[in-house]
Chains A and B, each alone.
Chain A
Amino acid sequence: MALVSSPVPPALRAKRRREAARTLAFLSPWLIGFGVFFLYPLVSTAYFSFMHYDGFRAPTFSGLRNWEYVLTTYPSFWTGLGNTLWLVVVMVGLRVVFGLGIGMLITKVKSGAGFFRTAFYLPYLAPPVAATMAFAFLLNPGTGPVNHLLGELGLPQPGWFNDPAWSKPALTLLAVWGIGDLMVIFMAALLDVPKEQYEAAQLDGASAFQRFRYVTLPNISPIVMFAVVTGVIQTMQYYTQAIVAGKVASGVIGGSGQQFEPGYPSGSTWTLPQMVYNLAFHQSDYGSACVVAVVLFALSMAFTSLLLRRRSGFLAED
């Protein structure tokens, strides 16, 4: 750094100004996007959460009434929050454990590795609507192949998407089927673990479990952390699969005249994002929808801040 006392020479000042202009120019598409598609709607959502607005008449200030309605009267809020938390714990947990298991398996396969890798990865690519419709068919209690096979084996045949006790496990099964992204991330991390550490552990007589516990896990823990946090954030947004599964299983979909019961069966697949959609676009209660949106925002940012902690290495420079 230059001596502080001397004034900045004009040439340097001009250069700095040029650099600032250049930086601004490169960032400009995103700066506009950040303002128009992030900051503005966020502020506006918070504002509308204190307004009564039905989409037609001018919004009027209603104080905390929307908040009170959502948190105390609106019967589905706590059900939806409970379902979202259930999915966060069980779905994310199983996806991470299963993804790590499949990642470890693929690093050990010696024959046909290319085939297995593609096979394990493929379901991840299936478009969510298509994959959910496929699972609604596979798991349908009447003629579905899964229950057919379970019956042949003499096992119980659950109602899956039609049974409130089984609908979330069925969605979890669908999520575990699409594990390809985690498999690839874990596979890369596992191949990065230094071989010498395994050899040293083996010389010390460590069992397979001990090698996993004391060599593998410490080496890949940042990736596990990454998978958990991003998984939680994705699950907060869980929407398409829940809504499509409910619609297909209830037999009410699209414009068939019948009213779709949100969260079918019995509210068991009802989640926070669906609440935003339903309150705003079906019940024309934009104010209450914004309350749920603010809650959703607070929850996701809390988890995002975990990811942004220095320790997680997420924003590391090199």
Chain B
Amino acid sequence: MTLAPALPREAAAPAPAAARTARRRAALHWVAVHALAIAAALFFLLPFVFLFLTSVMTDHQALTSDLWPTHWQWSNFSKVWHTPGFLTWWRNTLLYAAAGTALTVVSSLPVAYALAKFRFRGRNLALMAVVSMMMLPPQVTIIPMYLFWAKQLHLTGSLWPLIVPMAFGDAFSIFLLRQFLLTIPREYLEAARIDGCGELRTLLRVVLPMARPAVAAVALFQFFYCWNDYFGPQIYASENPGAWTLSYGLESFKSAHHTNWNLTMAATLLVMAPVIVLFFFAQRAFIEGVTLTGVKG
């Protein structure tokens, strides 16, 4: 996505005096816009700065209202890293996010393709069902689901109840992929069919390469969703600390170090870091994906 090129504010003016006023107005406008943008940037970025500054303070200084660390105690980060459990949470989160993302993409793509390109009775109904599922608060269905995993399958206290459902299509991913697949012209699919491709071959050989940006966006969203998920691990994994994820463990970290804002903020930054690094690598796919969810004007 690109921003609009800078437009000349005013057309070439006939009189030099008018041109000067116009130029002055354009300059004022420039200053006002950028002053506002800097103020907004401070609002968005300062919290990160304060977080970071506190995370390298000594235990003693973190209890004061000082803003700037007198002694930069970098060891806070290794201390957090070596807290019992932290590595387990890290590994569980990665497992949940990686497996969840892979399963979601594989199970959602064919569904999205069918909804975008096949003609069949009940297609609109199916689409509405997808949207309803997408909008459903997870708390609405949590009680039967919990009872199902706990009393029938005895699998609570593990990551299974979080990962397995992702093998059955995720409504948001299906919807986003469908929005993108609609934009692929029918001619490509017909050409593939004439060449003797079956539907599955068409999907994998023709559609998938064209849909790569949408697939990347869906994968990123799902990875972030799993990484950030708090409610799921709280319900299904909380009874067994060996199955905790970072989002859930971070909270208990605070209780163990409840007077140490410095260590808590270091842990907070360590949970934020992977997501932010991933964003910088995949910025474009991500922003395209967000735009796609907003659909069309």
Q: With A29-B107, A122-B45 given, is the CB distance from A42 to B141 under 8 Å?
A: yes
Is the CB–CB distance between A304 and B131 below 8 Å?
yes
Chain A residues near B132 (CB-CB < 8 A)? 38, 301, 304
For residue B256, give the distance in angstroms from its CB to the closest CB of chain A: 7
Q: With A123-B44, A185-B293 given, is the CB distance from A34 to B33 under 8 Å?
A: no
How far apart are the CA atoms of A239 and B141 in the complex, in Å?
15
Q: For window 107-139 of chain B, which residues contact chain A by CB distance below 8 Å?
A: 107-108, 110-111, 113-115, 118, 120, 124, 126-133, 135-139
Q: With A177-B43, A301-B132 given, is the CB distance from A296 to B143 under 8 Å?
A: no
Per-position 1/0 for A17-55, Cβ under 8 A of B: 001101101110110111011101110110010000001
B265 within 8 A of A: yes
A307 within 8 A of B: yes
How far apart are the CA atoms of A57 and B164 in the complex, in Å?
28
A87 within 8 A of B: no
For residue A184, give the distance in angstroms from its CB to the closest CB of chain B: 4
A37 to B, closest residue via Cβ: B165
Chain A residues near B158 (CB-CB < 8 A)? none
Q: With A130-B268, A253-B251 given, is the CB distance from A30 to B45 under 8 Å?
A: no
Q: For window 241-297 of chain B, which residues contact chain A by CB distance below 8 Å?
A: 246-248, 250-252, 254-256, 258, 261, 264-265, 268-269, 271-272, 275-276, 279, 283, 287, 290-291, 293-297
Chain B residues near A227 (CB-CB < 8 A)? 294
Which among A37, A143, A233, A248 is the interface contact of B64 at CB below 8 angstroms? Answer: A143
B224 within 8 A of A: yes
Is the CB–CB distance between A143 and B33 below 8 Å?
no
Q: For window 91-142 of chain A, which residues contact chain B by CB distance below 8 Å?
A: 102, 105-113, 115-123, 125-131, 133-135, 137-138, 142
Q: With A148-B65, A318-B182 given, is the CB distance from A38 to B141 under 8 Å?
A: yes
A43 to B, closest residue via Cβ: B144
B36 within 8 A of A: yes
B50 within 8 A of A: yes
Q: With A148-B65, A296-B140 given, is the CB distance from A119 to B45 under 8 Å?
A: yes
Which among A121, A126, A137 is the interface contact of B264 at CB below 8 angstroms? Answer: A137
How far apart are the CA atoms of A48 and B264 in the complex, in Å?
41
Task: Point out residues on A near B: beta carbons under 8 Å.
Answer: 19-20, 22-23, 25-27, 29-30, 32-34, 36-38, 40-42, 44-45, 48, 55, 102, 105-113, 115-123, 125-131, 133-135, 137-138, 142-145, 147-148, 177, 180-181, 184-185, 187-189, 191-192, 195, 219-220, 222-223, 226-227, 233, 236-237, 239-240, 244, 247-248, 251-256, 272-273, 276-277, 280-281, 286, 289-290, 293-294, 296-297, 300-301, 303-304, 307-308, 313-318
27 pairs of residues in contact across A and B, judged by CB atoms under 8 Å: A27-B114, A29-B107, A30-B107, A30-B168, A33-B107, A37-B141, A40-B144, A41-B143, A48-B143, A105-B33, A105-B40, A112-B37, A119-B41, A122-B276, A125-B275, A125-B276, A130-B250, A138-B51, A148-B65, A189-B294, A223-B297, A244-B251, A276-B142, A293-B140, A297-B137, A313-B295, A314-B295
Closest 9 CB pairs of A and B: A33-B168, A185-B294, A41-B141, A254-B252, A254-B255, A30-B169, A44-B144, A26-B114, A41-B144
